[in-house]
Structure 1
Amino acid sequence: MEVSNALKRKRYDDDNYMEAEVDLSLLEAVEKSQNTVELLDLRTLKKLVLSFERRLKENIEARLKYPDQPERFADSEVELHEELEKLKILAGAPELYPELVNLNAIPSILNLLSHDNTDIAIDVVHLLEDLTDEDVLEDNDEPARILVDSLIENNVLELLVQNLQRLSDKDPDEMSAIYNTLASIENMIEVKPTVAELVCERTKLLRWLLGKIKVREFDSNKQYASEILAILLQNSTANQKRLGQMNGVDVVLQAVAMYKSKDPKTSDEEEMLENLFDCLCCLLMPLENKERFVKAEGVELMIIIMKQKKSAYASAIRALDFSMTKYPPACERFVDVLGLKTAFAAFMGKIPISKKNKKERYQEELEERLVSLIASLFGGILRGSRRERLLSKFVENECEKIDRLMELYIRYSDRVTAETQRLEQLELDDLEMDEEEKYNRKLESGLYTLQLIAVILGHLWCSEHPQMRARIELLLKQQKLTKNDIKNILQEYHDNIGDLDGAEEKEQAQTRIQKIISSF
């Protein structure tokens, strides 16, 4: 404790600490020079590393010699702190990172993450954050990769997370170190994306992050924890499944539930809530997590959030869409707990007014989600009373929801037509584009939503309900369209169904679409 206080006095009591204690000539040169590369050469690097290794050796010897007399090794600890501060200057010359690795300094630096004095470990955390900062590593791909590879080989992930577990949110310095630990992990993922799975395989980071988002009080580290969790989940099925097995679905739902009837107080808190919903949607990719979501009454919670009409309204619709995609039990639960009324009110444009949803893109995203959700309902509920309840929604109020569908159909159709013409013009201008790229460009311009609208219209047509069929035919006639126009969109959808879920699933999906096409 005495040693820590000595370090803190050095660090905070003297405003001129840096000028008094750190190698003045080196720092002044950095400030004066515009060319860091000339200043920080290999010779300077070797001097820095040698000086650091010497102080480290002295500290180890002093601690071994006087284990029960902190005052006897306090000075060596302060000197070691100073050397770590000096090493931060290396962030000004990332091209020297390969030499830093060759000098075998990385193991010595990382071992200090387990130092008995937490302040020394914190120094290392700040140093790592500086060295891996994205602004530093930008345009230095190869040196960055060499540094990150060496850090990982020397167990940086394990050491960082072990140190993270002993840090407290009650101490301002330790709070800052928590933030910098998460930043270092994010920076390493940026350089080497496989780190996202490695850190979850080798450490207890996922469990620590879950513990952090469970806490009721909001702070910057809770926000950052939610962001890191989203990064770890976004492109990794393994991490999604791993977190699901750790009761992650339930924990994220509990964190989200805190905002079911209140809005976040600040923009940072709002960002955290969006991160939590990003985590939830990523978690809902594997089938087993959809099941956990339904069991944990996630469907009910999302409907409550929609009914409360707070800022998480659109996020709840997105989560429902993810939960119901290719998962009939979630669709059935949604109908059973009276979700149709809430969803169709949104579909008809009866959504809460807020600053955010006045933006055109927000409205469009909401429309696209709701179309996807309704298409999932038709795909997941094929017969019985639930199917009847779903179909009956389209007869209500003189088939107003079919009118709305057709309105969206025309809008997205016009957009796709405009994009198709633009692509044809590009080809005339000798810009070659293969069919797959053209198709993807059309999907981005709204083709996927147009296809889903056609699928919904197809399901309505297949029901053979005379009133619905008459309405669809009337609206097509008014727009000078025919059933063939819908069939063509469905055929293109059919032909481009991928085999991401396996050949058998692809065949079944194509059979279902072919049946709809035939009904026209």
Structure 2
Amino acid sequence: MSKRKQRDDDNDVFSRPPPVSSNGVHSNMDLSLLEALEKSQSAVEVLDQRTLKKLVLSFERRLKDNIEARLKYPNQPDRFADSELELHEDLQRLKILAGGPELYPDLVNLNAIPSILNLLAHDNTDIAIDVVQLLQDLTDPDNDEEEDSHEHARVLVDALVENNVLELLVQNLHRLSDTDAAADPDEAAAVYSTLATVENLIEVKPAVAELVCERTKLLKWLLGRIKLREFDSNKQYASEILAILLQSSTANQRRVGQMNGVDVVLQAVAMYKSKDPKSSDEEEMLENLFDCLCCLLMPLENKERFLKAEGVELMIIIMKQKKSAYGSAIRALDFAMTKYPPACERFVDVLGLKTAFAAFMGKIPMSKKNKKERYQEELEERIVSLIASLFGGILRGSRRERLLSKFVENECEKIDRLMELYMRYSDRVKTETERLDSIELDDLEMDEDEKYNRRLESGLYTLQLIAVILGHLWCTEHPQMRARIELLLKQQKLTKKDVRDILQEYHDNIGDLDGPEEKERAQAKIQRFISAL
């Protein structure tokens, strides 16, 4: 997922005309005044508490003047246009504070935050846009160069959240959408800045990811945005923010599921079932959408929604079309089928085995993107996980027979492939284990859990899944399969004990995330494989 794009032009005070009143009347500011403003903006100002107080005092005065002018001359925009311009100038000057996060606690203590945030609902949209861009600058995590800068940023973000910044930002989003922001470059830039500010707030204070979904209709807005057929940078950013909100929050995953979000994301993905994105930005958006889909497929109830919305069928179609979303479709299927037998059964029923085993055998579409070695490795790992899920989800009947028959056809070529992958991942894990053992533990302070996690990252988890698949095959007591496995082990100077050792380590490290009963059941299954081997 990409980092936030730099939009200096959008945030430049001179990149758009001076503020226009809600009646559409420009203030009478001539060129010389613009030049004078530009000079004053560029003057170097020492950033300290004195400067801060001066800036805040000036801003509060301009705000008061503007409120009074609007109340006094509500139907005469030309009478309050000058005060609007002065307010705009002071909001621009406040941006200098982004260079001094250590002053944020003082800014909060001066009680300037409520005044700034109230302007998000200003009748003049340009003033609201100024505030959004100011908030984006102030909350930018890149301001945090000093060690304690993050703490200063937290003080600011806490004050913003306490003063309803989330509600006001999302209301502003809806207001901009109502005026068709896509048709106005300035308002499109404001939408982008609003999303960037939300992302900044989450980065400084991760709890905001759930707060913004509890308190506002941001999820509804994001889903509405990704539903649009036309691609633009704000649709891309909406997909990125949605993925961020879903990544580490089960509550948000469930919320989006209840809002028909699984179906919305599937519809957005379906636009690319038979075509590739036209640009790298559009490609990135598609990856974001699949990230959203995979996050949504964590809760059980969303797996059910995925099944009802014919998500399994869509992913198989995408794989068959062999477009750029090929690998992402495999990843989504892997998430959908993990610990969910109904998805495994549907996969077999709609003839997914042929497509999956083509990928397992390495027959994947080649493009500039997937020629990269890491891409192909990820694909291998996903397809191994998917096949392991199939074995775990389909335990008996004709579907099980169809799955097993794949490993007998063409003289057991799938078992040959399985052992080829077994050897490759076994070598990789062995190399990593030797490297970790050679490191002085005192220097690195690496405990056994951390070493185990490092080995998992280097391929141990995939090796364990391959061993689990071998366990399933061995337990069928099919003579041809058993003979092939034993022959291939012997050719590599290995024995069944080597497979048992991998399974034993897997057995010993099964966690109880799904509860003690599920852990016991999973361990009993692995123990059965160990005994059979």
For Structure 1 versus Structure 2, the TM-score category normalised by the shorter chain is over 0.9
Q: How far apart are residue 6 of structure 1 and its match?
A: 6.7
More divergent stretch after superposition (510-519 vs 203-212)? 510-519
Q: Classify 1:401/1:244 alpha carbon distance in 2 versus 1 (closer, same or farther; 3 Å).
A: same
Q: Find the partner of 1:29 among 44, 59, 78.
A: 44
| Partner SS, residue 253 of structure 1 | helix
Q: How far apart are residue 330 of structure 1 and its match?
A: 0.4
Q: How far apart are residue 501 of structure 1 and its match?
A: 1.1
What corresponds to 1:69 in structure 2?
A: 76
What corresponds to 1:392 in structure 2?
A: 405
Q: Deviations for 1:413-458, whole angstroms, at most 9, x for unmatched residues? A: 1111111111111147764432111111110110000000000000
Q: Find the partner of 1:164 among 160, 173, 180.
A: 173
Q: Note if contact 2:140-2:200 (Cα within 8 Å) is conserved in structure 1.
A: yes
Q: Does 1:93 pair with 2:103?
A: no
Q: Does 1:20 pair with 2:33?
A: no
Q: Classify 1:40/1:497 alpha carbon distance in 2 versus 1 (closer, same or farther; 3 Å).
A: same
What corresponds to 2:16 in structure 1?
A: none
What corresponds to 1:114 in structure 2?
A: 121
| Partner SS, residue 68 of structure 1 | coil
Percent identical = 82
Instruction: Supply the distance in 2 between the matched residues of 1:298 and 1:261 (Cα, whole angstroms).
Output: 15
Q: Note if contact 2:20-2:124 (Cα within 8 Å) is conserved in structure 1.
A: no
Q: Which runs of 5+ in 1 are unaligned?
A: 31-38
Q: Does 1:144 pair with 2:162?
A: no
Q: Find the partner of 1:58 among 45, 55, 65.
A: 65
Q: Does 1:243 pair with 2:256?
A: yes
Give TM-score scaled by structure 1 length: 0.95
Q: Find the partner of 1:199 among 208, 212, 223.
A: 212
Instruction: Supply the distance in 1 between the matched residues of 2:492 and 2:103 (Cα, whole angstroms).
Output: 67
More divergent stretch after superposition (478-487 vs 59-68)? 59-68
Q: How far apart are residue 4 of structure 1 and its match?
A: 4.8
Instruction: Supply the distance in 1 between the matched residues of 2:115 and 2:312 (Cα, whole angstroms).
Output: 51
Partner letter of residue 255 of structure 2? R
Alignment of 1:1-16 (within 5 A): 3-4=21-22
Q: Does 1:495 pair with 2:495?
A: no
More divergent stretch after superposition (369-378 vs 508-517)? 508-517
Q: Classify 1:67/1:514 alpha carbon distance in 2 versus 1 (closer, same or farther; 3 Å).
A: same
Q: Classify 1:27/1:432 alpha carbon distance in 2 versus 1 (closer, same or farther; 3 Å).
A: closer
What corresponds to 1:83 in structure 2?
A: 90
What corresponds to 1:208 in structure 2?
A: 221
Q: Classify 1:8/1:69 alpha carbon distance in 2 versus 1 (closer, same or farther; 3 Å).
A: closer
Q: Find the partner of 2:275 among 248, 253, 262.
A: 262
What corresponds to 2:391 in structure 1?
A: 378
Q: Find the partner of 1:41 among 44, 48, 51.
A: 48
Q: How far apart are residue 59 of structure 1 and its match?
A: 1.0
What corresponds to 2:419 in structure 1?
A: 406
Q: Does 1:103 pair with 2:110?
A: yes
Name whichever structure is richer in helix by fraction. 1
Q: Classify 1:515/1:17 alpha carbon distance in 2 versus 1 (closer, same or farther; 3 Å).
A: farther
Q: Deviations for 1:364-397, whole angstroms, at most 9, x for unmatched residues? A: 0000000000000000000000000000000010
Q: Note if contact 1:307-1:342 (Cα within 8 Å) is conserved in structure 2.
A: yes
Alignment of 1:462-477 (within 5 A): 462-477=475-490
RMSD of aligned alpha carbons: 1.7
Instruction: Supply the distance in 2 between the matched residues of 1:116 and 1:101 (Cα, whole angstroms).
Output: 25
Partner letter of residue 3 of structure 1? S
Q: Which runs of 4+ in 1 moved over 6 A?
A: 5-11
Q: Note if contact 2:27-2:82 (Cα within 8 Å) is conserved in structure 1.
A: no
Q: Does 1:153 pair with 2:162?
A: yes
Q: Note if contact 1:6-1:74 (Cα within 8 Å) is conserved in structure 2.
A: no
Instruction: Supply the distance in 1 between the matched residues of 2:26 and 2:376 (Cα, whole angstroms).
Output: 52
Q: How far apart are residue 27 of structure 1 and its match?
A: 3.1
More divergent stretch after superposition (189-198 vs 86-95)? 86-95
Q: Note if contact 1:209-1:225 (Cα within 8 Å) is conserved in structure 2.
A: yes
Q: How far apart are residue 21 of structure 1 and its match?
A: 2.8
Q: How far apart are residue 7 of structure 1 and its match?
A: 7.7
Instruction: Supply the distance in 2 between the matched residues of 1:273 and 1:320 (Cα, whole angstroms).
Output: 16
Instruction: Supply the distance in 1 between the matched residues of 2:447 and 2:64 (Cα, whole angstroms).
Output: 63
Q: How far apart are residue 26 of structure 1 and its match?
A: 5.9
Q: Note if contact 2:20-2:126 (Cα within 8 Å) is conserved in structure 1.
A: no
Q: How far apart are residue 199 of structure 1 and its match?
A: 0.5
Partner letter of residue 321 of structure 2? Q
